[in-house]
Amino acid sequence: MTGKFYQTLRKCSHRIHQFLIELVFPRRCPVCDKIAIPYGGLICLECHDKIRYVGNLYCKKCGKKIRSADGEICFDCKKGKHSFDRGRAIYEYTSVKESLYRFKYSGRKEYADFFGLEISCLLKDEIRRWNPDALIPVPLHRSKVRRRGYNQAELIADVIGKHMEIPVRTDLIERCKKTVPQKELSLAARQNNLKKAFKICRNDVKLKTIILIDDIFTTGSTLDSMASELKLAGVANVYFITLASGEGI
């Protein structure tokens, strides 16, 4: 009885603590960036309808939205080879572009709770089918972490891991090369930019299946680079999940 009492007391204390934090620092809506309405929610109810989802027509390799149900693989995946096995994204990039920018560069860490919950709800069946041993957020170079104060991919992974009870590992692979932002480069330059950008941190990567977590999928160069290193270290299956992606053909 005493144990149950203290357990209940701790839960109540945690809820009060969270309420006080949100009272002083109310959550902002990831779409409009105003205080979320209704109060205490993760997003404004009217703003949720402004987000566009990838939906059911998507490339079965990279997860990009495709226009026709005639083919299962987008043009980019047909003409090029990926090191990862498969991936998914939940949002069309253009509908969340500004939100992701604030999330990454304007300190809106609280957006991670909404984004992580969306992934956990929308992709839970696929994640369970993949049966991952761990989630691995795409690492930032230490200079970026110092400047930004956090890794947005790690924040998302932590929320997914908590909801789906999957371990999050940040000790297996690191970004050892300070690279130029990928968005500024051509496809060939992106691939060259990421050569030797990642390295395995441990000699005993005893994982069969992992899911990489990131915010945006464009060409997949970063995810391919990581997947290649992880497979060389003995990982059999490398999947990925990102919040958003562009449209495939």
The structural domains of the chain, ordered by start, are 1-50 (no CATH), 51-245 (3.40.50)
Q: Which residues touch 103 (CB under 8 Å, ≥6 apart)? A: 30, 109, 111, 112, 115, 152, 215
Mode of pairing for the β-strands spanning 134-137 and 237-245: unpaired
Tell me the angle at which helices 152-164 and 111-122 cross, rounded to the nearest 10 degrees: 50
Identity at 224, one-letter amino acid code: D
Length of the chain counted residue by residue: 249
CA distance 107 to 102: 7
Residue from 165, 182, 164 nearest 219 by CA: 182
Q: Which residues touch 101 (CB under 8 Å, ≥6 apart)? A: none
User: 96-101 — which CB contacts under 8 Å span 24+ positions?
Assistant: 96/30, 96/31, 96/51, 96/243, 96/244, 97/244, 99/30, 99/31, 99/33, 100/215, 100/216, 100/243, 100/244
User: What is the predicted pLDDT for the residue at 69?
Assistant: 73
Residue from 215, 211, 217 nearest 248 by CA: 217
User: What is the predicted pLDDT for the residue at 68?
Assistant: 77
> Do residues 37 and 45 make contact, with C-beta atoms less than 8 angstroms apart?
yes
User: What is the predicted pLDDT for the residue at 187?
Assistant: 57
User: What is the predicted pLDDT for the residue at 108?
Assistant: 95
Tens-of-pLDDT digits for all 249 residues of the chain?
566 655 655 655 545 444 444 555 688 999 999 999 988 899 999 999 999 999 999 999 999 999 877 778 999 999 889 999 999 999 999 999 999 999 999 999 999 999 999 999 999 999 999 999 999 999 999 999 999 999 999 999 999 999 999 999 999 999 987 776 655 555 556 656 677 789 999 888 899 999 999 999 999 999 999 999 999 999 999 999 999 998 876
User: What is the predicted pLDDT for the residue at 172?
Assistant: 95
Q: Give the other-Cβ count within 10 Å of 32's Cβ.
A: 16
User: What is the predicted pLDDT for the residue at 67?
Assistant: 84
Mode of pairing for the β-strands spanning 209-217 and 134-137: parallel
Quote the pTM value.
0.86
